[in-house]
Amino acid sequence: MTTPASPTIVVALTAIVGERACLSGADTDAFTTDYRRLYLGKAVAVVLPASTDELSRVMAWCYTHGVPVVPQGGNTSLMGGSVPDDSGTAVVVSLKRMNQVVEVDAVNDTLTVQAGVTLSAARSAAEAAGRLFPLRIGSEGSCQIGGNLSTNAGGTAVLRYGNMRDLVLGVEAVLPDGRVYSGLRALRKDNTGYDLKQLFVGSEGTLGIITAAVLKLMPLPRSSSVAFVAVASPAAAVALLGEAKRTAGQAVTAFELVSRPALDLVLAYLGGEKSPLAGSHDWMVLIELTAGTDADSLDQTMVQLLEAGLEAGLVLDAAVAASGTDALAFWRIREEISDAQTRTGGSIKCDVSVPLSRIAGFIEEATAAVLALEPRTRMVVYGHMGDGNVHFNPLRPADTSAADYMAACYTQVSHAVDALAHAAGGSISAEHGIGVAKRDDLTLYKSPVELELMWQVKKALDPKNLLNPAKVLPAPH
């Protein structure tokens, strides 16, 4: 089928969404490049629908005329999942105008939002009602709930609350042909056959475009304790996590690993900020305990845990936040590691997970493999150790350009790290998804049966392969 010429597409879509909500030419630029500026795409138009009905009509028109569509939330994907390729044939659908908080139901403990609501707006709406929406990621000011769902976002509180897949009760989504899947239910129990909403979660906009969701709310924590702790090794960190779970149980909310090069990088990037610890240590963890009661015993529990850790030789030094300001400063150090790398350039982002029992061995082997390729690489290793998820991000030596390091090392490093994670029973993408960046690598790590099933699902919902094409699924051979 020949697709219509660009002006015809723009005229048809303008008729649906209105002139100001159908952008073309240079006005599309802000939507066609990813946030790390690694994927430079082009679009025939960018549409910003104001309602599910408008989006449904946009999709029906594009489907009939064979026009590819790329959905976009806050465009914070690290994998190139939310921008079009450079062919200039696709329409980008931005959900940013669908940004209403529809309902906070404090009895049912649910929050209903449109897909374009930012994560921080969703968290604020919950907090205003005395509740917590627990997803927590550094980009919360720009990322949107639709994108969080479609990528099954994780972040720094998964250990306690789970990832986006665990936090959703209902979804509304527009299908590639314009039909609307209306699954906006607020039920904790609904065993009426296939759980279709979960098809749209984590499928990175390849099966449908999420337009609204019902999310779970939790009690707002009323006390917390945060510590920045130097540990003897990654193995010591794992042992300390076990001790933390025994001592504090469910209160263990975050357990984040930080390597020395990650700390050095972020402190240099932040300028004025200082390490919470006096000495220099190879490995550190940020521990957060929270509870839903006013009990002031969490600092005591933390101290008890750290003392046991010191005695066992797991902990080398520790700082417990003495105030909310201290706690925010500790968290800032952790959360800015990602941007510090983006600004520095030349970091190879591997986002792997392995069973906790194998994580220390994985870090050791992967570090040796990377240093054998380029011994001066800065080992920026950090992330959600409590979930068995490390951001294993080798960074260019300070005196090597990003382009030179990437050209010399990218493929070998990312393949070596992913292969070791896979061999340890792990995943090559714990929480960042697949997008374009990891798409072709899936053939190495998923069985033919898994890939075939993924394509069968894709074809059932998107038989013309028009929705976010060439994302997630490697071309069948």
d(Cα 382, Cα 403) in Å, to the nearest integer?
23
The site string for ligand MLT over 120-159 (x = CB under 6 A, - otherwise) reads ------------------x---------------------
| H or E segment and range at residue 18 | none
Residue nearest to ligand MLT (CB): 338
378: tokens are 């800065």
Q: How far is the CB of 391 from ligand MLT (least distance, A)?
A: 4
Q: Report the alpha-carbon distance of residue 378 to residue 397 in Å, rounded.
A: 6
The smaller minimum CB distance to ligand MLT, of residues 383 and 386, is found at 383
We find the least distance from the C-beta atom of residue 413 to ligand MLT, in angstroms, to be: 16
Nearer to ligand MLT, 63 or 331 (CB): 331
For the chain, helix, strand, coil in percent to 5 are: 40, 20, 40
- The 161-200 contact track toward ligand MLT, x by CB under 6 A, reads ----------------------------------------
Residue from 260, 391, 438, 471 touching ligand MLT (CB under 6 A): that is 391
- Phi and psi at residue 96, in whole multiples of 5°? -65, -25
Q: Which residue has the tokens 């449908």?
A: 208
- Is the Cβ of residue 332 or residue 459 nearer to ligand MLT in the bound state? 332
CB of 426 to ligand MLT, least distance (A): 16
3-state secondary structure of 78: coil
For 426, the token pair is: 């792990």
Q: Is the Cβ of residue 276 or residue 309 nearer to ligand MLT in the bound state?
A: 276
Nearer to ligand MLT, 302 or 337 (CB): 337
Whether residue 147 contacts residue 162, with contact meaning beta carbons closer than 8 Å, is answered with no
CB of residue 6 vs ligand MLT: minimum separation in angstroms?
35
- Cβ 78 to ligand MLT shortest distance, Å: 6
Least spacing, CB of residue 427 vs ligand MLT, in Å: 14
Interacting positions 77-116 with ligand MLT (CB under 6 A): 78
Nearer to ligand MLT, 160 or 391 (CB): 391
Nearer to ligand MLT, 111 or 337 (CB): 337
The SS3 of residue 196 is coil
Supply the DSSP symbol for 238. H
User: Measured from the CB atom, is 302 or 385 closer to ligand MLT?
Assistant: 385
Contacts of 78 (CB under 8 A, 6+ apart): 35, 36, 349, 351, 432, 435, 437
Q: Work out how close the CB of 139 gets to ligand MLT at its nearest, in angstroms, rounded to a whole number.
A: 8
Nearer to ligand MLT, 174 or 287 (CB): 287
Task: Give the nearer residue to ligand MLT in terms of CB position, either 81 or 138.
Answer: 138
d(CA 257, CA 236): 11
Give me the least distance between CB of 151 and ligand MLT, in Å please.
11
Positive/negative CA dihedral, 295, 296, 299, 304: negative
Binding mask 60-79 for ligand MLT (x = CB under 6 A): ------------------x-
Phi and psi torsions of 8, nearest 5°:
-65, -40
Through-space distance between the first and last CA atoms of the chain, rounded to whole angstroms: 23
Our CB check for ligand MLT shows the closer of 159 and 337 to be 337
Q: How far is the CB of 334 from ligand MLT (least distance, A)?
A: 7
Do residues 161 and 177 make contact, with C-beta atoms less than 8 angstroms apart?
no
DSSP state of 165: G
Q: Which of residues 407-466 bind ligand MLT (CB under 6 A)?
A: none
Q: How far apart are CA 253 and CA 256, in angstroms?
A: 10
> Using CB under 6 A as the criterion, what x/- string covers residues 299-338 for binding ligand MLT?
--------------------------------------xx
Which candidate, 133, 80, 129, 122, places its Cα nearest to that of 100?
122
Q: Which of 390, 471, 396 is nearest to 429 (CA)?
A: 390
Nearer Cβ to ligand MLT (391/439): 391
Structure tokens at 78: 């690290």
Q: How far is the CB of 383 from ligand MLT (least distance, A)?
A: 5
Q: Which of 202, 309, 383, 433 is close enough to bind ligand MLT by CB under 6 A?
A: 383
Please name the residues in contact with 410: beta carbons below 8 A apart, sequence gap of 6 or more: 348
Number of residues near ligand MLT (by CB under 6 A): 6
DSSP track, 376-442: T-EEEEEE-GGGTEEEEEEE--TTS-HHHHHHHHHHHHHHHHHHHHHHTT-BSBSSS--TTTTTTTH
Contact map string, positions 217 to 246, toward ligand MLT, x by CB under 6 A: ------------------------------
Query: How distant is the alpha carbon of residue 335 from its chain centre?
Result: 13
> Residue 156 CB, nearest distance to ligand MLT (Å)?
7
Q: How far is the CB of 261 from ligand MLT (least distance, A)?
A: 14
| Positions that interact with ligand MLT (CB under 6 A) | 78, 138, 337-338, 383, 391
